[in-house]
Amino acid sequence: MSIVAPKARKHLSADALFHLVRSGFATMPDPRGEEVNISLTDALMSAFAMFSLKAPSLLAFDKERAEGNLHTIYGIERVPCDTHMREILDPVSPKVLRPLFKSLFRQLQRGKALEPLVFLEGHYLLALDGTEYFTSKTIHCASCLHRVHRNGSITYAHQMLGAALIHPDQRAVIPLMPEPIVNCDGTDKNDCERNAAKRFVARLRQDHPHLKFIVTEDSLSSNAPHIETLQDYDLRYILGVKEGDHTYLFQQVQAAEQAGRVTYYERHERAAGLVHRFRFVNDMPLNASQAHVRVNFIEYWESGEAKVQHFSWVTDIRVSKRTVYHLMRGGRARWKIENETFNTLKNQGYNFEHNYGHGEQHLSVVFAMLMMLAFLVDQAQQLCCALFQAVWAKLGSKRLLWERRRALFYTYALASMRQLFEALFYGLKKPTPVFGFDSA
Ligand SMILES: [Zn+2]
């Protein structure tokens, strides 16, 4: 029986998405004007290819700058050397990359790739979380955040608000354009996660005016101003809460319990040896000073053989015995933005915190956005490309997959990424070793 490589969905293949990325780059204005020997498109696409191929550093990418497959697969005419790439990309405003995230998202929508991510009544679950991906005492740029210490020394840092569509049953996540948390115009005024979240939701609504989202975040986000912002932009939410930070709310729940208004629900998952216990109550005040902000409250205990895990959330979705289990799974899926997104970028070959070069203006932020774009293309493959899934299953780990892919990319002349994945799937014919036998 012969093994046949799974068919790809053509418009969602890595090759089609690379083409889309490249044509998006080609529309961006080059701040240097027209007389240049390497185009902005090539510089952006080279940086994208560097993250797509999981080059361990810019220097490593530069060393293997054989242009054959970079031309045929990524459509790059000329690859800049490392210094030149940094020079070209440093003045590029990260904002110009936003339309690209949107056009990739649209392509996934058109190909119906996002349907498995629908969580509740046509709503997508959208996880938001801040992360810090760079700190230094010495290296810094105009966009760096400043932390001034008591002894007068400064720590420079880069943070972003990451965003991704997630689903409790799917490992793949679909990132949106992150919102950089950066210093404002090179002054000492630091940006913060709360402001970044305001900008993010405004832009989210510009890009996707009609999409339905349920935003899920950790307990730092469970404050009245943020909830009102979400409401202003017609976004639903499931947000973590903690007894220590939301004392008034928990007291009100206690009072409701004494008044007999709290509902209990229990569900046994015998195969997994788990018991899920809930108590919930609708229409509670979030805090004393802004009692007009009303939330529905869920508290949850998962008991396994060895341990009990405890979570609580507030949501604007009405909680009932019919919905509470599903809402809990949505709230718990939030860890995917930390685990499947940030940790993957940090530990699974993307080298998110690695120093590819910092620049003086925007380079560090531009690199972070391009890395997220490469991650989006990879996640799209993981979600909807059967060939990618088959190769991943065969090799057993992403790390090995990226390693093998890079090895083939730099060894053979290839026509497409599809061809490369087919070679990984079928295996390449290796020469048979010749043994000499002693017949005596
Ligand atoms: Zn910086």
Q: pLDDT, tens digit, for every residue of 143-192?
A: 999 999 999 999 999 999 999 999 999 999 999 999 999 987 656 678 88
pLDDT at residue 1, as a whole number: 45
**What's the gap in Å between 22 CA and the centre of ligand 1?**
26
| Cα torsion through 419, 421, 422, 426, rounded to 10 | 140
- SS3 for 425? helix
pLDDT at residue 9, as a whole number: 74
Average pLDDT score, the chain: 91
Cβ atoms < 10 Å from Cβ of 171 = 12
Are 34 and 382 a contacting pair, CB within 8 Å?
Answer: no
CA distance 47 to 375: 13
Q: Beta strand pairing status for 145-148 and 294-303?
A: unpaired
**What's the gap in Å between 144 CA and the centre of ligand 1?**
4
**What's the gap in Å between 355 CA and the centre of ligand 1?**
11
**What's the gap in Å between 58 CA and the centre of ligand 1?**
17
Adjacent-strand bridge partners of 240: 313
CA distance 63 to 61: 5
Question: In this structure, what token pair is assigned to residue 385?
Answer: 């490309």
**What's the gap in Å between 193 CA and the centre of ligand 1?**
17
**What's the gap in Å between 363 CA and the centre of ligand 1?**
8
CA distance 421 to 125: 31
pLDDT band at 437 (very low <50, low <70, confident <90, very high): low
| pLDDT tens-digit map of 230-282 | 999 999 999 999 999 999 999 999 999 999 999 999 999 999 999 999 999 99
**What's the gap in Å between 373 CA and the centre of ligand 1?**
20
Number of helical (H) and strand (E) elements in the chain, helices listed first? 16, 12
pLDDT at residue 246, as a whole number: 95
Measuring CA to CA, which residue among 66, 128, 103 is closest to residue 334? 128
| pLDDT tens-digit map of 272-322 | 999 999 999 999 999 999 889 999 999 999 999 889 999 999 999 999 999
**What's the gap in Å between 218 CA and the centre of ligand 1?**
26
Residue 251 CB contacts under 8 Å (≥ 6 apart), including other chains = none
**What's the gap in Å between 364 CA and the centre of ligand 1?**
6
- Of residues 115 and 36, the one with the higher pLDDT is 115
**What's the gap in Å between 197 CA and the centre of ligand 1?**
20
pLDDT at residue 35, as a whole number: 78
**What's the gap in Å between 126 CA and the centre of ligand 1?**
28
pLDDT at residue 187, as a whole number: 61
CA distance 196 to 268: 41
**What's the gap in Å between 141 CA and the centre of ligand 1?**
4
CA distance 216 to 221: 9
Residue 2 clears pLDDT 60, i.e. is over it? no
Residue whose structure tokens are 């992150």 = 178
pTM confidence score: 0.92
**What's the gap in Å between 136 CA and the centre of ligand 1?**
9
Give 306's DSSP letter: S
CA distance 332 to 328: 6
pLDDT at residue 108, as a whole number: 96
| pLDDT tens-digit map of 347-403 | 777 777 676 889 999 999 999 999 999 999 999 999 989 999 999 999 999 999 999
**What's the gap in Å between 93 CA and the centre of ligand 1?**
14
pLDDT at residue 339, as a whole number: 79
DSSP 64-98: T--HHHHHHTT--S-PPPHHHHHHHHTTS-GGGGH
| Cα torsion through 412, 417, 423, 424, rounded to 10 | 110
Are 201 and 229 a contacting pair, CB within 8 Å?
Answer: yes
Are 353 and 54 a contacting pair, CB within 8 Å?
Answer: no
**What's the gap in Å between 326 CA and the centre of ligand 1?**
41
CA distance 140 to 46: 24
**What's the gap in Å between 191 CA and the centre of ligand 1?**
13
| pLDDT tens-digit map of 41-65 | 999 999 999 999 998 888 888 888 7
End-to-end, the C-alpha distance of the chain in Å comes to: 40
In this predicted structure, which of 13-27, 254-268, 402-416, 419-433 has the lowest mean pLDDT? Answer: 419-433
Residues 195-221 have a mean pLDDT of 96
Residue 25 CB contacts under 8 Å (≥ 6 apart), including other chains = 40, 41, 44, 45, 48, 100
**What's the gap in Å between 183 CA and the centre of ligand 1?**
9
Are 62 and 81 a contacting pair, CB within 8 Å?
Answer: yes
Residue 115 clears pLDDT 90, i.e. is over it? yes
Sign of CA pseudo-dihedral 357, 362, 365, 367 = negative
**What's the gap in Å between 149 CA and the centre of ligand 1?**
18
pLDDT at residue 65, as a whole number: 74
pLDDT at residue 73, as a whole number: 96
**What's the gap in Å between 57 CA and the centre of ligand 1?**
18
CA distance 177 to 373: 8
CA distance 312 to 332: 10
154 to 117, 147, 182: CA distances (angstroms) = 43, 5, 15
**What's the gap in Å between 358 CA and the centre of ligand 1?**
6
